[in-house]
Amino acid sequence: MEVKQFSSIFENGVTTYCPGCEHGLLLKFIGMALDELGITEKAIMVGSVGCSTLAYKFLNVDYVQAPHGRAPAIMSAIKLLEKDKVVFGIQGDGDALSIGIAELIHAANRGIPITVFMYNNMVFGMTGGQMAPTTPEGMKTTTTPFGRDIKQMGPPLDACKILSSFPQISYLKRVVITPKPIFTKDRVMYSSKEAMDSYKAVLNAFKTQLMEGFSFVEFIGTCNVNWKMSILDSKKYVHEVGVKVYPPALCRDAFGVEKK
């Protein structure tokens, strides 16, 4: 019997991610959604700089590699010229909220129908776990060895709060993509609800773009390697600390795609 494969994912494509990192989960869901909506052939992905850079080795769609933080500008230009295509990008929290916050904000404010998926692992993953604008108070990173000091660095940036003030955004959502550890009598299990919710968010974000709206989804995930935690501990951290700083929320759904 043939194995069902997604046309948007390379049959032999292997992600470049560390074992257990949900960056890969996001890629898988993007591939699935492209397939489900039948938009693989007209999709153009703009890659950012960070761990998601090498996504083009996994997803079989047109690809443009942006400079660090600038993907929303590139996506905007492509979409303005290729109106019937589906233009999307994956950005890290550092890429989107540190170096590239201006490009993100202006693209969002213009409401150009593109889709930005932001993977928020609360650090700079690719460069070795330095502090990001999203790092929670007290979190130790390679540049905050004693924990993030809010007095000096300010509180962690909340993308959804910032973007909520822009009227032309059509879909704005924050989900947790990390499977929640469930502690049973004899072992630890993981829930699949987070993954399912995340997939729905990916799907809805694309649907919004197809209805001519700007969509942004923030995925709260792990970076176990740079957090210097086991896979399990990192997943615990997201569900104990991460969700408090970044509670899941549907901040905007102008077209009501969630209900459909």
Partner 1 sequence: MGAKAIAEAAVRSGLEAYFGYPITPSSEIMENISVLYGEKRYPWFKVFLQSASEIESVNMLFGAGAAGYVSMTATSGPGLSLMAEGISYAYASEVPFLIIDVNRGGPGLGNVAPEQSDISFVLNSLGHGGVKPIVLAPHTVQESMEHVHKGFELAFTYRIPVIMLTDALIVHMYDTVEWEPPYIVKPKVEWAARGRNYGPRHIINSIYLDPPELKGNKEKLLQKQKEIDKIAESECFMCYDDLDVLYIAIGISARISKEAVLKLRKKGVKAGLFRPITLSPLDKNSILKYSSHAEKIVSVEMNEGQLAQEIMRITRKDVEVLPYLGGYIPDVEEVAEAWK
Partner 2 sequence: MYQVVHSKWEVIVNRERCKGCEICINACPQENLSLSKNVNSQGYHYVEFSEVGKKGECTGCKICWWVCPEYAILEVRRIEKTDNGS
Ligand X SMILES: Cc1ncc(C[n+]2csc(CCOP(=O)(O)OP(=O)(O)O)c2C)c(N)n1
Min. distance of Cβ 207 from partner 2 in angstroms? Answer: 20
Q: Which of 58, 124, 219, 255 binds ligand X (CB under 6 A)?
A: 124
Closest C-alpha among 177, 260, 258 to residue 218? 177
Partner that binds at residue 225, options partner 2, ligand X, ligand SF4, none, CB closer than 5 to 8 Å by kind = ligand SF4
Helices 193-210 + 23-37 axis angle, to 10: 50
| Interaction between residue 177 and ligand X (CB under 6 A) | no
Closest C-alpha among 92, 71, 77, 87 to residue 21? 92
| Interaction between residue 56 and partner 1 (CB under 8 A) | yes
| Interaction between residue 77 and partner 1 (CB under 8 A) | yes
Closest C-alpha among 57, 58, 4, 1 to residue 29? 58
CA 143 vs CA 101, 124, 245: distances in Å: 21, 10, 20
Rounded distance, CA 45 to CA 51, Å? 15
Q: Which positions lie near ligand SF4, rule CB under 6 A?
A: 17-18, 21, 23, 51, 121, 125-126, 223-226
| Interaction between residue 228 and partner 2 (CB under 8 A) | no
* The dihedral formed by the CA atoms of 61, 66, 72 and 78, expressed in degrees to the nearest 10: -60
| Interaction between residue 63 and partner 2 (CB under 8 A) | no
Q: Which of 43, 61, 126, 139 binds ligand X (CB under 6 A)?
A: 126
First to last CA, the chain: 34
Min. distance of Cβ 250 from ligand SF4 in angstroms? Answer: 25
User: Under the rule (CB under 8 A), what is the footprint of partner 2?
Assistant: 1, 3-5, 9, 12-15, 17, 19-25, 27-28, 31, 179, 187-192, 195-196, 199, 231
